Amino acid sequence: MVIAPNASLSPEQAVWFMVSISVVGLGIALVLALMGFWPVLPIAGLELTALGVALWLSLRGNAYREVVDVDDGFVIVEVGRVGEDARSTHRWPRIWTRIELRCGANRLAPTELWLAYGAQRLQLARCLTDEERECLADRLKRLIKAPAVLPELSSARTG
């Protein structure tokens, strides 16, 4: 199961958006600078730089991934970015792993989904909405608490 942010802005769209905003913004700033309002030009440059940094951070955040794998004995969670090695990997025994969905700190705060094993905790799905986190918690509970089928037992039953 892969948990990823809802990234609707592609890099190509971000470039086109930045180019179109830059052309309009710098065009207006150049006209005003020619009319004698030259302080507008550096302010327009600062605004466009801030917009470019915000777009870059947004696109960088779109590459964030959490991969949850539930096999017969373990729950394995890898956290990282697309195209890079996993930043962290957690491998916990399936039978002792818990799913906790908690309310936020106040009524406006988002819910929190935690995967826990003993005293270790890992927050999952921060990029999802409350409803998506609730559905994910239910799905993870079913996956983790479902009885594991051991290969020897399944072949003994059929054979």
- Write out the H or E segment, with its range, that includes residue 124: strand 120-124
83: helix, coil or strand?
coil
11 in Cβ contact with 59 (< 8 Å): yes
| 68, pLDDT greater than 50 | yes
Per-residue pLDDT band at 74 (split at 50, 70, 90): very high
CB crowding 28-38: b at 16 or more within 10 Å, else e = ebeeebeeeee
Whole-model pTM: value is 0.69
**C-alpha dihedral, 13 to 15 to 19 to 21, nearest 10°:** 60
pLDDT one-digit tens code per residue, 38-52 = 999 999 999 999 999
pLDDT one-digit tens code per residue, 79-135 = 998 888 888 999 999 989 999 999 988 888 999 999 999 899 999 988 899 999 999
Among 39, 38, 42, 45, smallest CA distance to 21 is for 45
Per-residue pLDDT band at 159 (split at 50, 70, 90): very low
Percent of the chain's residues with pLDDT above 90: 65
